[in-house]
Amino acid sequence: MKSPRINPSILSADFVNLQAELEAIASADLVHVDVMDNHFVPNLTMGPPIVERIQAVSPVPLDMHLMIADADRWAPGYAELGAYSVTFHAEATNDPVALARKIRDIGARAGIALKPGTDVAPYLELLPEFDQLLVMTVEPGFGGQAFMPDMMPKLQQASEAKKAHGLDIWLQVDGGITVDTIGMAAEAGADTFVAGSAVYGGVPEQRIAELRAAANAHVHTKA
- Return the active site residues: 34, 174
Whether residue 196 contacts residue 143, with contact meaning beta carbons closer than 8 Å, is answered with yes
Whether residue 79 contacts residue 106, with contact meaning beta carbons closer than 8 Å, is answered with yes
**In the chain, alpha helices (H):** 18-23, 48-57, 71-80, 96-106, 121-124, 152-165, 182-188, 197-200, 204-222
Q: Any bridge partners for residue 5, and if so which?
A: 192
Neighbours of 67 (CB within 10 A): 25
The continuous run of DSSP H or E covering 33 comes out as strand 31-36
CB neighbour class for 126 (10 Å; exposed up to 12, middle 13-18, buried from 19)? middle
Amino acid at 198: A
Cα 19 from Cα 208, distance rounded (Å): 18
Q: Is 169 helix (H, G, I), strand (E, B) or coil?
A: coil
**β-strand 31-36 against 5-8: which pairing, if any?**
unpaired
Cα 107 from Cα 171, distance rounded (Å): 20
